[in-house]
Amino acid sequence: MTPVDILMPRPMPPLVLEKLEAEFTVHKLFEAENPDGMLAEIGPKIRGVAAMGGKMDKAFLEKFPNVEIISSFGVGYDHVNTGDCLAANVMVTHTPDVLSDEVADTALGLLLMTVRELGQAETWLREGKWVSEGAYPLTRATLQGRTLGIFGLGRIGKAIAKRAEAFGLTIHYHGRSRQDGVAYPYHATLKDMAAACDTLMVVAPGGAATKHSVNAEVLDALGPEGILINIGRGTVVDEQALIAALEKGTIHGAGLDVFEDEPNVPEKLMQLPRVTLLPHVGSASQATRNAMGQLVVDNLKSWFDTGQAVTPVPEMG
């Protein structure tokens, strides 16, 4: 049988490419000298897409009239318009669960770095200031006694909550609805939760429904000892409102792994003193990225072998 044609628009981890090439004919758009020409030639042959970010909507789908499945790398799939995919009868899959513990570990690391200014303290040592100026200044903030509001108590949010409990934090949560069997106090609005907490952990998905949910009002409610951590998606936080809140002292500090316009990070954020910035490394260990990659492969194989996906996004029903 002729192998199925798969499009890979952007480079993906070597494991994904290797395993896909063993089963399918993989068209690497990122290597094409003339991508439009390549698309015009292979578009009608493509039956599956192995995706790593990149906007996928009606305009994208129209180039591939016979596409059946988009297998996306990552649990967040805000780059894929699932409404357009459903309308075009295209399956969308993602890579949940296999990264939850890794991302939760990173979230706790980022929280500790931010509260205790660990990155800044390391820079102090490396710049020789421990010798020339003495000890790094005591941090105004401490993790002890903090109340953590989790915005998005899903798979990763729960893994963060488990770790945060071990650190002695009190936990609250906000989402679209109260969850059965969850004892943490629930807040129907993000602003109410921010007012009840001094630490806000964003681990909600991106997309139109959550865009700029963390705005000036929410940051004001969090208060002057407030720490914002964003491990979810950059678009959830209004970055300009955050910069203003940090400049004015409306909140104390912020730790960010994700940004509105990655990989571009506003210069002002880089200059602010109590801000920790990471380059979207939440899931970025070899083992976890390989497990995510394996799921991308498994979804494509399962779809073309059995007509069933392994981990479809919830919108697929």
| Catalytic positions | 233, 262, 280
Q: Which is nearer to ligand NAP, 115 or 203 (CB)?
A: 203
Q: Interface residues for ligand 8YV in 91-130 (CB under 6 A)?
A: 99
Is 152 a residue that touches ligand NAP (CB under 6 A)? yes
d(Cα 181, Cα 19) in Å, to the nearest integer?
40
In the complex, minimum distance from the CB of residue 110 to ligand NAP, in angstroms, rounded to a whole number: 9
Contacts of 302 (CB under 8 A, 6+ apart): 308, 309, 310
Number of helices followed by number of strands (H, E) in the chain: 13, 12
- Smallest gap from Cβ 67 to ligand 8YV, in A, equals 20
Distances (CA, A) of 51 to 26, 29, 200, 214: 12, 11, 31, 28
How long is the chain? Answer: 317
Is residue 280 a contact point for ligand NAP (CB under 6 A)?
yes
CB of 317 to ligand NAP, least distance (A): 15
Stretch that binds ligand NAP, among 18-26, 111-119, 191-199, 205-213 (CB under 6 A): 205-213
Which range, of 12-20, 47-55, 110-118, 199-207, touches ligand NAP by CB under 6 A? 199-207
Query: For the window 114-143, what string marks contact with ligand NAP as x by the rule CB under 6 A?
Result: ------------------------------
Q: Which is nearer to ligand 8YV, 246 or 292 (CB)?
A: 292
Nearest to 39 by CA among 63, 8, 5, 17: 63
Choose among 187, 121, 104, 19: nearest CA to 8: 19
Phi and psi (nearest 5°) for 123? Answer: -60, -40
User: Locate tokens 């409102």: which residue?
Assistant: 241
Residue 283 as a binder of ligand NAP (CB under 6 A): the answer is: yes
Structure tokens at 199: 């630490």
Number of residues that bind ligand NAP (CB under 6 A): 28
Give the interface with ligand 8YV as residue ranges (CB under 6 A). Answer: 52-53, 73-76, 99, 280, 282-283
